Structure 1
Amino acid sequence: MILLPSLASLTAAAPLAIDMYVPAFPDMVSTLETTSSGVQLSMTAFLAGLVLGQFLLGPVSDTLGRRRLLLGGTALFALFSLLCALSPTVHFLIGARFLQGAAGACGAVLARAVIVDWYRGPSVARYFSTLAMITGVAPVAAPLLGAVILLFAPWQAVFVVLAVVGLAQCATVWWRVPESLPPEDRNPGGLKDSFRAMGTLLRTRAFVGYAVALSCAAAALFAYVSGSSFVFQIVYGMSPLGYGVVFAVNAISMTAAAALFGALSQRVRLNTLLMTALSVSFLATLGHVVIDLGTGGNVITTWVCLVLTIAGMGMAFPAIMTIGQGVAGHSAGSASALLGGGQFLLGAVAAPIVGVFGESSGTPMAVIMLVALSCAVLALAVLARPWRGHGEHSRG
């Protein structure tokens, strides 16, 4: 079906915008006459806009529908990407990146909502696994794509490419994505009731449990992304190419696990898959910490543990998304906003913490990941109580 690839492409914008300009940081410091922390703040601004945009666009779409917001959001993403390319100062860039993140949120949050609008039953899990696969591949491809662009053009070209991506997505929505939420199915109480629905979800114990578990697992993933390059290149002395191979293999394990979830979800209870996946991630990270504390660790054991941890997340993320949307019922936009926004909110907080503990050991990254995954397991056990079968779809 054409609709699913179109929706999957919408989820790629944010991961591309996060990572594609990272290879250009040194050039940007020079061109904008700023510091490395100034340029890095532009990424924080993007993540802040991405979180806020999801929290706003989700409930608004439950009242106004999905298509108009998708058209406007993708067009604005293109515009703000172009403003980033034209930034004369780092302060202008930071502001433009915040707006770019807010606009980029539309693709992520509304693609999930459209899937819930159009599909029912076990097929929803398979479609969410496809989105998870795209989300897993995009961060790996983004820095490589950015590096290739920089071989032939200055850093501004990266944002021009992102503007083209936004325009292409806008055209895709125009031609391939019809309105999935007809007026009769929208929230009749308007925006006030849509935001009230979000409040209701935040008072729903099971939904909060799944949302917190997802956010904490995402915090562990962001800690890995921000700390793994230091661990493998500085602590273990790998080359940048060697680290690229490690990162790519880990990403492939995440993508494969998401695909496996899509296949198994037709035959196995979603909550069973979730508990299994999160247990694998938790136990692998626990083993990572124990080995590091006991022997100091080595590149092989660290890599093996991380492959298992990231694979577990690859299955856990689409499982929680599917179950969370099932628990939310008709408030698909609000649920998507809370689930997606929470991911990036805690992820953005966790990412810089790894660097606080220095670059002389891989243990801090492993410990931070273990703390985050422990919180995810606790949220699942205490709040969500997955053994009760929340959000399961009939297979009959």
Structure 2
Amino acid sequence: MPFHLQGAPLSNPARAQGSRPSYRPGIKYILMLGALAALPAVTTDMYLPSLPTVASDLGTSQAAAQFTMSGTLLGAAVGQLVIGPFSDRFGRRLPLLIGISLHIVVSLLCAVAPGIGTLIGLRVLQGFFNAAAGVVAIAVIRDRFVGSDAARLLSRLMLVIGLAPLLAPTIGQAVASIWQWRAVFVALALIGLVLVLIVWRFMPETLPVERRRTSGGPSAFRGYRVLLKDRHFVALAFIPGLGMAVIMSYVVGSPFVFQDEYGLTAGQYALVFAINGAGMVISAQANAALVRFAPPMNILRIAVPVLLGLSLLLPVIVLTGFGGVFGLAAGLWLVLGMHGLIAANATVMALGNYGHMAGSAAALIGALQVGVAGAVSPLVGVFGGQALAMSGVIIGCCLLMAVILAVATPAYRRGRGAAPESTGAAGPGVQAPKDEITP
């Protein structure tokens, strides 16, 4: 039997008319979507502790080794833009099965890459193909939920997605210590195989034929033109992207900062990474509770300035040496933890009016997330790869996020106005609840 929403059939006519669905996804449904959404993060985090070893083994620089991380993000940015319209036309299951299957093949090729150039190229392809998992998971949520309900579900998914930073580095370090870093990619291929079997057996199709976009070829990508003309959508879509840039700046810089600069062992670093991942999980669960009492935009306009203030503490800790490695880890824990109060709320606000093209909208949001993160995170290595460089890049991202929220959205304006028209699940012209979609 396929997984289903407890107490709710997979086809619900009431939802097609824009009525607010009750929040009742079953635990199996959350676990399935969470595992899919976590695949790109697992692909990054399992490999993370091996970065210094890869640089040494392949005789390359720290910056080049870091680009095997950034290249994955850039590949994912392009992949999501391709997969989004594909999923709007052919449904959610097909692009998911194709993408994860090709992820398996590329992972095995990464395991035998002869040099850093080949590995970078394969990592770009790996990101391109496993982008299907993230796009489809978000599109499936928008197929079924809007507003605070969607924000709650996204926050609950963090319980599963959060296992990536909690467990993946430790597992990756264990695998690499026994069988060398190339075995990490074999493990990623096996994870992909398990996900293919789960999707094939249990994944329900949430986009019925009558709601699929019928146009193909170049016209399938015209929806991006519509999305890019929506100033509020673009602004809200950039906010999770800058949040991901904060995370990835930490991800690509922290192995060298904590192991080389502060002298932690690989095992100690994996523990620090897991603790910081736990901070993101905790804040995401706090957000799931908060959206029951406050609209997502109300949370955003408080969380973003707080994040900026916390980020400004990082260079102070580094320059003064306050608390040593524990002080830096604590500061990063606070900064990274705020991500759980920002990404889900900005995402559901951006998606609110685009239920009729949820795949394309989710793809553009995801592409901006990984694209911005992939473009920004290499700056950590360019500026020296040390703690101060990492802190400076993080501050820049937080400052830009605050400016975008203040200038390009109605977050801080009086009389923010009536709710914009929501397309809902059925397409244009369906009104969603005003308290759910008003910025």
Same fold (TM > 0.5): yes
Partner of 2:399: 374
Report the CA distance between 1:306 and its aligned residue.
2.3
Partner of 2:303: 277
Contact 2:146 2:352 in 1 (8 A): no
Alignment partners' CA distance in 1, 2:318 and 2:394: 13
Alignment partners' CA distance in 2, 1:234 and 1:155: 19
Partner of 2:409: 384
Match for residue 14 of structure 1 among 40, 46, 52? 40
Match for residue 223 of structure 2 among 197, 210, 218? 197
Alignment partners' CA distance in 2, 1:105 and 1:99: 10
Single out whichever of 281-290 and 2-11 deviates more from structure 2.
Answer: 281-290
Amino acid at match of 1:176: F
Report the CA distance between 1:328 and its aligned residue.
2.9
Alignment partners' CA distance in 2, 1:231 and 1:88: 27
Partner of 1:148: 174
Alignment partners' CA distance in 1, 2:114 and 2:257: 35
Contact 1:219 1:343 in 2 (8 A): yes
Secondary structure of the corresponding residue to residue 254 of structure 1: helix
Partner of 1:77: 103
Partner of 1:320: 346
Alignment partners' CA distance in 2, 1:229 and 1:24: 9
Secondary structure of the corresponding residue to residue 122 of structure 1: helix
Matches within 5 A, 1:1-396: 1=26, 2-25=28-51, 34-36=59-61, 39-120=65-146, 122-289=148-315, 295=320, 297-299=322-324, 300-358=326-384, 362-387=387-412, 388=416
Q: 1:142 to 1:289 in 2, by over 3 A?
A: same
- Give RMSD over aligned pairs: 2.8
Mark the runs of 5 or more structure 1 residues left unpaired by the alignment.
none
Report the CA distance between 1:326 and its aligned residue.
1.1
Secondary structure of the corresponding residue to residue 68 of structure 1: helix
Contact 1:218 1:347 in 2 (8 A): yes
Report the CA distance between 1:331 and its aligned residue.
1.8
Contact 1:128 1:321 in 2 (8 A): no
Amino acid at match of 2:398: L
Report the CA distance between 1:239 and its aligned residue.
5.0
Report the CA distance between 1:234 and its aligned residue.
4.9
Contact 2:173 2:267 in 1 (8 A): no
Q: 1:147 to 1:62 in 2, by over 3 A?
A: same
Alignment partners' CA distance in 1, 2:317 and 2:186: 45
User: TM-score w.r.t. structure 1 length?
Assistant: 0.89
Report the CA distance between 1:359 and its aligned residue.
5.7
Amino acid at match of 1:368: V
User: TM-score w.r.t. structure 2 length?
Assistant: 0.81
Amino acid at match of 2:380: V
Q: 1:296 to 1:157 in 2, by over 3 A?
A: closer
Partner of 2:426: none
Report the CA distance between 1:372 and its aligned residue.
1.0
Secondary structure of the corresponding residue to residue 162 of structure 2: helix
Contact 2:51 2:255 in 1 (8 A): no
Alignment partners' CA distance in 1, 2:159 and 2:306: 19
Contact 2:173 2:266 in 1 (8 A): no
Report the CA distance between 1:301 and its aligned residue.
4.4
Alignment partners' CA distance in 1, 2:250 and 2:60: 25
Contact 2:166 2:275 in 1 (8 A): no
Q: 1:86 to 1:26 in 2, by over 3 A?
A: same
Contact 1:122 1:394 in 2 (8 A): no
Alignment partners' CA distance in 1, 2:116 and 2:318: 40
Secondary structure of the corresponding residue to residue 352 of structure 2: helix
Alignment partners' CA distance in 2, 1:84 and 1:291: 38
Higher helix share: 1
Q: 1:279 to 1:199 in 2, by over 3 A?
A: same
Alignment partners' CA distance in 1, 2:44 and 2:283: 23
Contact 1:47 1:344 in 2 (8 A): yes
Equivalent residue pairs, number? 393
Deviation per CA, 1:202-245: give whole Å up to 9, x if none: 11011111112222222222222233344445555555554444
Contact 1:280 1:308 in 2 (8 A): no
Deviation per CA, 1:141-166: give whole Å up to 9, x if none: 22211121124324333222211111
Alignment partners' CA distance in 2, 1:322 and 1:207: 10
Report the CA distance between 1:129 and its aligned residue.
0.9
Mark the runs of 5 or more structure 2 residues left unpaired by the alignment.
1-25, 423-431
Q: 1:212 to 1:236 in 2, by over 3 A?
A: same
Q: 1:81 to 1:237 in 2, by over 3 A?
A: closer
Partner of 2:22: none
